[in-house]
Amino acid sequence: MSAVIPETTDLSKYVELRPYEPVSAYPFIRGRRLPVSFIGRNYVNQHKTVAEIASVYSVSEEEILAGVLYYLEHRDEVEAVEEEVTEFYRPFFEEGQKQLAEMRARRPEKTEQP
């Protein structure tokens, strides 16, 4: 008799899909404002350990493990949603950067006090 390994794991105890403009379903750690994509990128791209990520975001290692598993099981979907959100907010970011540069240009230069 051999064990049956499931294709995916039910992570709904730790991961929830919530609306996040402009998308209808964006994965977050349940009850937190921590996107699964942040966890996945820290783990996969920056090679952070589960303990390191948990410490940075002040969540349990179980929550981080669930986020990593969700990210790995749904990587293409998570990255597509992340790209859609990034593109949606890009004009706002660019406008903010433009306004910041204009404010800095208008700011009088500091003079040294004797």
Pairing of strands 23-29, 15-20: antiparallel
Token pair, residue 83, equals 């790209």
Q: Render pLDDT for 101-114 as a digit per residue (tens, 0 to 9).
A: 999 998 887 767 66
pLDDT score for 114: 63
pLDDT score for 24: 80
* CATH of region 15-101: 1.10.10
Q: Render pLDDT for 11-69 as a digit per residue (tens, 0 to 9).
A: 899 999 999 888 888 999 999 999 999 999 999 999 999 999 999 999 999 999 999 99
In the Cβ-directed half-sphere of 104, how many Cα atoms lie within 13 Å? 6
Q: Is the pTM of this model over 0.95?
A: no
